[in-house]
Structure 1
Amino acid sequence: MEKRTLLTAFRDYLDSMNSADVADFLDGFDWDLQLRQLDPETIPVVRQLQSITAGPGDSLLEMLSQQAHGLHWGRTYGSADFGEHFLRNYGWMELFGSRGHFASGDMAGGFLLLGPDIDYPDHHHIAEEIYVPLTDGSLWSRDRSAFAIRMAGEVIHHPSGINHAMKTTDRPLVALYLWRGGPLAEKPKFEGTHHE
């Protein structure tokens, strides 16, 4: 029941944004999703949720923090990819999708979590993507542009195949994500390093 409540809060948060980009992305999506039985799986970065103070109206972030240790968290990379520091401070939880708590072959959605002082290098993938940070102050780059600070509630859209990168400073990042139009479990592709 808790996971269904989190799914409802996820949907309600997106509906409350009144964003044309988000509405277009979700157009026709059926939220009547079948629950998939996944064992809880925690990873080191989940501890960062304890250091985030949810403000008034941050019910989705608060609910995620409360349920975090009962959810199935994952990582796409190993220590050989970006080192142990990155691995301890990176992870995601797919709420719905091809491997999430709720089954969907049409779209994936969930949460990205990055600890402080993390550089998620330039990468791209076939799937079109929307991110909505739930915390303030992370740095984002699209199409190798200069990094810009993004605040909670901003909609960040990455079309299919476009390079994008993220950085955190002294604060962790929690961001909601949506994927569609490509393999929902595709590993991103990296080409060189990011230049500001």
Structure 2
Amino acid sequence: MATNFDGLLQALRSFIEATGSVAPVGEFLGDIDWEMPPRSLKPHGVACSRLLDRAVELAPAGCRPLAELLARNRGELHWGQTYTAADFGQRFLDNYGWVEMFGTRGHYANDKVAGGFLVLGPDVEYPDHHHLAEEIYIPLTGGTAWRMGDAPFGLRDAGEVIHHASNVNHAMRTGSEPLLALYLWRGGPLAAKSTVSGTASGGKG
């Protein structure tokens, strides 16, 4: 029997809908059928889930309820990692993970759009990478630098909408605090591994 995450899914939906006037969030919303059947996924933890308590402390008022709900449910969720220690090193792996709330492998089945949460620990660089799917990120914590294409890294605030078009390189670099971000994917294989064109930095250690 599937664990019931309806409350978390509804909170995720409400948060996304609150930003629906910001392009292209409304277009993504138009593609999401929220009547999604649940899947039975066994809980699977990742080391970076320990950072959710700090992410809740860092999240501004408008983002904190969603961050709190995610942290409260972390132990029952099926977390994943696209990469291994052989790709980027053990420190990166210990500070990286995601959970797909809905999509082709998420807690709720959706073949058209995927959505969930990404966690990155402090002093970590997620290197330049790209994928066929179009992507939106909405950070729930600030203090992370983001880069797209040939542009330099720039800090983005919590609640900002960050849009990556299909097959455009992008990267993230955290500072002294972790990143918690909401993500949406559409228009490509929803479980595809990104093509990495940069070199990861696991920071100190």
TM-score, normalised by the number of residues in structure 2: 0.91
Distance 1:92 1:42 in 2: 10
Report the Cα offset of residue 114 of structure 1: 0.2
| Contact 1:122/1:144 (<8 A) preserved | no
1:170 aligns with 2:176: yes
Counterpart in 2 of 1:9? 11
Aligned length: 194
> Pairwise mapping of residues 19-38 of structure 1 onto structure 2 (< 5 A)?
19-38=22-41
Unpaired runs of at least 5, structure 2: 201-205
2:88 pairs with 1:82: yes
Matched to 2:148, the amino acid is R
Kindly indicate whether residue 127 of structure 2 is the aligned counterpart of residue 125 of structure 1: no
Indicate conservation of the 8 Å contact 2:8/2:69, yes or no. yes
- Distance in 1 separating the partners of 2:102 and 2:40: 12
Deviation of 1:2 (Å):
4.5
More displaced 10-residue stretch of structure 1: 90-99 or 57-66: 57-66
Alpha-carbon distance in 1 for matches of 2:32, 2:49? 29
2:152 paired with 1:149: no
CA distance in 2, matches of 1:28, 1:164: 24
1:16 Cα deviation from its structure 2 partner: 1.1
**Pick from 61, 67, 82: which aligns with 1:61?**
67
3-state SS of 2:147 partner = strand
Percent identical across equivalent pairs? 51
- 1:2–1:151: structure 2 CA closer, same or farther, 3 Å change rule? farther
Q: In structure 2, which of residues 102, 114, 117 is the aligned counterpart of residue 108 of structure 1?
A: 114
> RMSD in angstroms over aligned alpha carbons?
1.4
C-alpha separation in 2, matches of 1:116 and 1:143: 23
| Offset at residue 170 of structure 1 (A) | 0.5
What CA distance in whole angstroms lies between the structure 1 residues aligned with 2:102 and 2:145? 26
Match of 2:103 in 1: 97
Partners of 2:60 and 2:158 within 8 A in 1 = no
| 1:144 CA displacement | 2.7
Aligned AA (2:29): L
| Alpha-carbon distance, 1:24 to partner | 1.4
SS state at 1:34 partner: coil
